[in-house]
Amino acid sequence: MRDKPWIIRTYAGHSTAKESNELYRKNLAKGQTGLSVAFDLPTQTGYDADHPLAAGEVGKVGVSICHLGDMRALFEQIPLGAMNTSMTINATAAWLLALYIAVADEQGVARKSLQGTTQNDIIKEYLSRGTYVFPPAPSMRLTKDVILFTTKELPRWNPMNVCSYHLQEAGATPVQELAYALATAVAVLDAVKTSGDVDEKTFGEVVGRISFFVNAGLRFITEMCKLRAMSEMWEDITANRYGVGDPKQRLFRYGVQVNSLGLTEQQAENNVYRILIEMLAVTLAKDTRARAVQLPAWNEALGLPRPWDQQWSLRMQQILAFETDLLEYGDIFAGSTEIAKKVAELKQEARQELDAILGMGGAVAAVENSYMKSQLVESNARRVEAIERGEQIVVGVNRFTETEPSPLAAGEGAILTVSPEVEAEQIAKLEEWRAGRDPKAVDAALADLRRAAQSNTNIMPASIACAKAGVTTGEWGAVLRQGFGEYRAPTGVSHAARNDCQGIDDLRAEVDRMTKKLGRRPKILVGKPGLDGHSNGAEQVAVRARDAGMDVVYDGIRLTPAEIVDAARDKDVHVVGLSILSGSHLPLVKDVVARLRDAGLEGVPVVVGGIIPPDDAAALKESGVAAVYTPKDFELNQVMSDVLRIVERSKAE
């Protein structure tokens, strides 16, 4: 008897709804069995394409969805009643789900037949991914509203993915990944249970629809054991903490995207093997096999993957599922004493960490007091240092670096680029949409939304009404911003240098030399302009500069170019370092450089880090950027030494 394969997905979406729809239909025709939608950063943070903060970001890391018309176009000729759709959306999850339901209603699809997932895990956004908007309390309320609404109206929908994936991307150890994800699940279920909105039967149904989205790295035996540990810990929590009696409702259900953090720019073709090995962790063992798998493309450390690159990852899944005999056997690791030993070890350590978080008030408290974020920053720093010292071997990076030129990454078209015209086109379509709707219906729908937010009424019915009235993403977001306020999460980067940092004595000596020359310690501003919330690289630069003895100004994510320039002036910095991973480096960096010049700070050099293609790096240097760093520049001590020399040259000119 051959088991049914997992749902095979590709995380995809870019530019406009029309272009993404064409990509989805091509992928489905190639044998993909579910959709995984990537939204651009303005959509994820509740802005329309014409908002000033959206400049340069429209359609870059995902598809731009401003209104119901965009959502219709995104799923044109895709029957939602027959589709399993995963949406990577969090702060604005209620809104994107409302748009999806509105399209399903138009297609005549019964809501009870809709299948899919809204990611809807706001805790990990504060810790790793950065697309949060509102403070924790109202954000958790929105999560609860989506869960309660879907449990009643969309019983086959997963209203939340508890995401440990992004925690590992931020540097989490397996123990941290287990503890922080389960602490998040407990925080959400506690919020639902104590709301008074569910009876015991309904609460069991809520638990049964909670799913997880996990990561799997190259240490695939440990990763497989981590998933067995998580499954057993989830069984214990649901049975003993919440008293859920139905074994089916206690099942640990998860989807996966394997690790992107370990994909390398150097010898990028090696990433194909990394992706395959990581997939084994979530497919080999039947008892903890993933329900859905999506794989990154081999060249994601170089830029946006092309359809061919995504097809290569799709075929990897299909070959494992359909050509091998994997699905003909039971769990081939059941009874292994080595596996059982590792699982027990992970569970013991994770329980201790989970108990510590619950003891301080739970996951929300551990966000607000920066405990979890600080722990992630520190563990990621140790990972980076281990790679630099050669203790953690990365083939093609710190060992076996001699190589032949790769024909896969050469020439024009080696990566996908989003046309700069996409933003203007989307804004024009948005203006046309606004002009064609009934303004009275829009105002009435927004008024109902405002009342729902203020009265603690479930936000979903009013949001669906807004979608059908023609309300835009930015208008929905603005009403909730007015009602809930906005939030800046702790950065996790402390001011105190670590005493146990190894291998930086020479760098500290360089800082001391520069301190004598400047008359004060070299001061660097580490800035994250635009809406990009992936702050791991910026945090590690800030930590290394701090540990080396530099003064560091780091105020976290989502700063405007004007705010960065103001801080550079007010803090009297020697150098500005910008980190951008969303593909918006050209317009944002050029804006910062121009504003520095206008402010009389042209003597302050600018360095830039991110996933930046060579042609773009050259363009940035022509615009006045002193240096550009990409993932291949993994030796932070060398980067810091370069920055110090740049400061020294700027003072000599």
Pick 7-328+339-369+404-409's CATH classification: 1.10.3720.10, 3.20.20.240, 3.40.50.720, 3.30.9.10. 3.20.20.240
**Quick one: which of 594, 598, 607, 602 has its CA closest to 642?**
607
Average pLDDT on 413-438 reads: 92
Query: 523: which strand partners?
Result: 551
84 pLDDT exceeds 90? yes
The b/e string for 416-442 (b: 16+ C-beta within 10 A; e otherwise) is: bebeeebbebbbebbeebbeebeeeeb
Q: How does residue 316 score in pLDDT terms, banded at 50, 70 and 90?
A: very high
Over residues 204-258, the pLDDT tens digits come to: 999 999 999 999 999 999 999 999 999 999 999 999 999 999 999 999 999 999 9
Joined tokens for residue 183: 């602490």
Q: What are phi and psi of 225, to 5 degrees?
A: -65, -35
pLDDT confidence of residue 82: 95
Quick check: pTM over 0.85?
A: yes
Q: Is the distance from CB of 463 to CB of 118 less than 8 angstroms?
A: no
**114 class by beta-carbon count within 10 Å (0-12 exposed, 13-18 middle, 19+ buried):** buried
Can you say whether residue 196 is alpha, beta or left, with left for phi > 0 and alpha for psi between -120 and 50 degrees?
A: left
Q: How far is CA 256 from CA 50, 213, 421, 470, in A?
A: 34, 5, 34, 34
Kindly write down the DSSP assignment for every residue of 272-286, as one continuous string: HHHHHHHHHHTTS-G
Structure tokens at 67: 């209104």
Q: Which residues carry out catalysis?
A: 11, 165-166, 528, 532, 534
User: 3-state DSSP call for residue 608?
Assistant: strand
Residue 15, beta-bridge partner list: 63
Gyration radius of the chain's alpha carbons: 24
Q: What is the pLDDT of residue 262?
A: 93
Q: Where are the alpha helices (DSSP H) in 494-610?
A: 505-518, 536-547, 561-570, 585-598
Long-range contacts of 371-375, Cβ-Cβ distance < 8 Å, separation of 24 or more: 372/127, 372/180, 373/126, 373/127, 373/489, 373/490, 373/491, 373/492, 374/490, 374/492, 374/494, 375/176, 375/492
> So what's the pLDDT on residue 378?
95
* pLDDT number for residue 206: 97
Residues forming CATH 3.20.20.240 domain(s) in the chain = 7-328+339-369+404-409
Residue partners of 37: CB distance under 8 A and separation at least 6: 12, 13, 20, 62, 63, 74, 85, 86, 87, 88, 89
**Separation between Cα atoms, residue 446 and residue 111, nearest integer Å:** 23
* 640 within 8 A of 503, measured Cβ to Cβ: no
Residue 455 burial by Cβ neighbours in a 10 Å radius (0-12, 13-18, 19+): exposed
* Interval 261-297: pLDDT, tens: 999 999 999 999 999 999 999 999 999 999 999 999 9
Number of Cβ within a 10 Å radius of residue 248? 8
Q: Poorest-confidence range of 20-24, 144-148, 299-303?
A: 299-303
The 10 Å Cβ neighbour count of residue 483 is 15
C-alpha to C-alpha distances, 494 to 207, 378, 570, nearest whole angstrom: 37, 10, 21
In the chain, list all ranges with CATH 3.40.50.280. 505-652
Q: Determine the pLDDT at residue 130.
A: 94
* Predicted local distance difference test score (pLDDT) of residue 98: 98
Residue 620 and residue 362: Cα distance in Å, rounded? 44
Cα angle vertex 172, ends 169, 176, to 5°? 140
HEC profile of 40-88: CHHHHCCCCCCCHHHCCCCCCCCECCCCHHHHHHHCCCCCHHHCEEEEE
Distance linking the first and last C-alpha atoms of the chain: 75
**CA dihedral angle for residue 378, residue 379, residue 380, residue 384, rounded to 10 degrees:** 100
391 HSE (CA, 13 A, CB side): 8
pLDDT band (50, 70, 90) for residue 114: very high
- Distances, alpha carbon 601 to alpha carbons 126, 565, 645, in Å: 33, 9, 18
Helix, strand, or coil (residue 523): strand
Residue 62 has pLDDT above 80, yes or no: yes
**Superfamily assignment of 505-652 in CATH?**
Cobalamin-binding domain (3.40.50.280)
How far is C-alpha 462 from the chain's CA centre? Answer: 28
